[in-house]
């Protein structure tokens, strides 16, 4: 009996020594592939820290944080969402940095014959469905909405829009052929490179920069800061570049 107690205590001690802290990193959907690799590499460098990842649209992550979700680090695909997190007192401003950027693109299924060099083509009969992240809470959708409004197209194509929960869902609609075109980030295309193609690069009104910050809710300040610095490090940047992000 005594030996069993010793073994239990030894096991508990071993668990504690392996993971001295667990942090939850909430990241925009477009970061899914890159952050999975970055988290694995980070854990190899800091074996006493475990990284739990959660992905969703930036706006959804903000609402989760506002409603008490135990998030230690927040990474968004736009400045607006992070600014709102700051306004609500949800992030440690001194930890906030921009760590990468992206490009908005219009995509079509790989075998599509559609040729687009002007967004006004979206009004034509051949384009029946357009996948776009819901601008209410997805940065990719907001960037696309701003461009379409500038060109007086937003109201015209409303009936064609399939508004999705996040940018990856918009990508999936096009990959499955359920939408003739869709607005996503250029980095997302690599996720479905055999099923979709870029038909047009979309210049945005604002540069697409990704900020990251530790939250005010975190109880693991050193570990959260280490993760942020790792994302910004050469190793982290190499992973992001591999997955199509820009600098």
- For the cut 50, the answer to whether the pLDDT of residue 18 exceeds it is no
Q: Helix, strand, or coil here: 114?
A: coil
| Interatomic CA distance for residues 79 and 83, integer angstroms | 6
Give the mean model confidence (pLDDT) for residues 36-60.
Answer: 97
- Beta bridge partners, 215, equal 91
| Interatomic CA distance for residues 93 and 83, integer angstroms | 10
Share of the chain above pLDDT 70, in %: 92
The tens digit of pLDDT for each residue in 130-163 reads 999 999 999 999 999 999 999 999 999 999 999 9
- For the cut 50, the answer to whether the pLDDT of residue 8 exceeds it is no
pLDDT of residue 109: 98
Q: Helix, strand, or coil here: 74?
A: strand
CA angle 244, 246, 55 (to 5 degrees): 60
pLDDT of residue 9: 45
Between the alpha carbon of residue 183 and those of residues 104, 125, 148, 210, the distances in Å are 7, 18, 11, 18
pTM of the model: 0.89
The DSSP element (H or E) to which 211 belongs, if any, is strand 208-214
Dihedral sign computed on CA atoms, order 177, 180, 182, 186: positive
* Distant-in-sequence, close-in-space partners of 23: CB < 8 Å, separation ≥ 6: 49, 50, 51, 52, 72, 73, 218, 220, 223, 224, 227
Token pair for 130: 């357009």
pLDDT of residue 223: 97
The tens digit of pLDDT for each residue in 203-218 reads 999 999 999 999 999 9
Region of 29 please: left (phi>0), alpha (psi -120 to 50) or beta.
Answer: alpha
CB of 216 closer than 8 Å to CB of 40: no
| In the block, residue with structure tokens 């992000």 | 245
pLDDT of residue 14: 41
Neighbours of 67 (CB within 10 A): 7
CB of 104 closer than 8 Å to CB of 208: yes
């Amino acid at each position: 009996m005594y030996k069993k107690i010793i073994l239990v205590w030894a096991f508990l001690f071993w668990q504690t020594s392996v993971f001295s802290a667990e942090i939850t990193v909430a990241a925009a959907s477009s970061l899914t592939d890159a952050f999975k690799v970055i988290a694995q590499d980070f854990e190899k460098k800091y074996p006493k820290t475990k990284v739990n990842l959660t992905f969703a649209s930036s706006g959804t992550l903000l609402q989760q944080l506002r409603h008490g979700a135990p998030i230690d680090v927040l990474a968004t695909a736009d400045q607006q969402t992070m600014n709102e997190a700051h306004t609500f007192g949800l992030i440690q401003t001194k930890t906030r940095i921009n760590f990468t950027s992206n490009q908005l693109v219009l995509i079509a299924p790989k075998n599509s014959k559609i040729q687009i060099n002007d967004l006004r083509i979206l009004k034509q009969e051949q384009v029946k469905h357009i996948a776009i992240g819901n601008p209410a809470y997805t940065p990719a959708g907001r960037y696309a909405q701003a461009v379409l409004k500038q060109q007086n197209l937003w109201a015209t194509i409303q009936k064609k829009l399939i508004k999705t929960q996040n940018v990856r869902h918009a990508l999936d609609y096009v990959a499955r052929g359920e939408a003739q075109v869709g607005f996503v980030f250029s980095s997302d295309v690599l996720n479905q490179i055999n099923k979709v193609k870029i038909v047009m690069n979309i210049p945005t009104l604002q540069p697409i920069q990704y900020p990251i910050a530790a939250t005010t809710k975190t109880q693991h300040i050193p570990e959260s800061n280490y993760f942020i610095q790792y994302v910004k490090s050469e190793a982290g940047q190499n992973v992001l570049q591999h997955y199509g992000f820009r600098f």
